[in-house]
Amino acid sequence: MAACFAFFFLPAFFFFLADFFLTAAFLLPAFFNDFFFFFDAFFFFFFFPPFFAFFFMLNLLQGC
């Protein structure tokens, strides 16, 4: 179980944390832009990467 945690959970967790830094990098210029760019950046760079990282982690842990 420790090997599963080290090889499957930790990479997905750090990818989940790094996504928030990427989200801030894409959202900060969006506050000075129009609403469409703000919604597009928020939806694709905030919602999708943590969503897929979470279920990717669950699928890997199912094999342990």
- pLDDT averaged over 10-residue windows placed end to end, the chain, 64 residues: 66 69 64 54 56 66 64
31 DSSP 8-state letter: G
Q: Which residues are CB-contacts of 53 (< 8 A; sequence separation ≥ 6)?
A: 12, 15, 16, 19
| pTM of this structure | 0.30
pLDDT of 33 reads 58
What distance in Å separates the CA atoms of residue 9 and residue 37, rounded to the nearest whole number? Answer: 33
Cα-based torsion angle of the residue sequence 42, 46, 48, 53 in order, rounded to the nearest 10 degrees: 170
* Per-residue model confidence (pLDDT) at position 42: 56
Residue 25: what pLDDT? 65
What letter represents residue 39's amino acid? F
Q: Which helix (H) or strand (E) holds 26?
A: helix 10-27
Tell me what pLDDT residue 13 has: 72
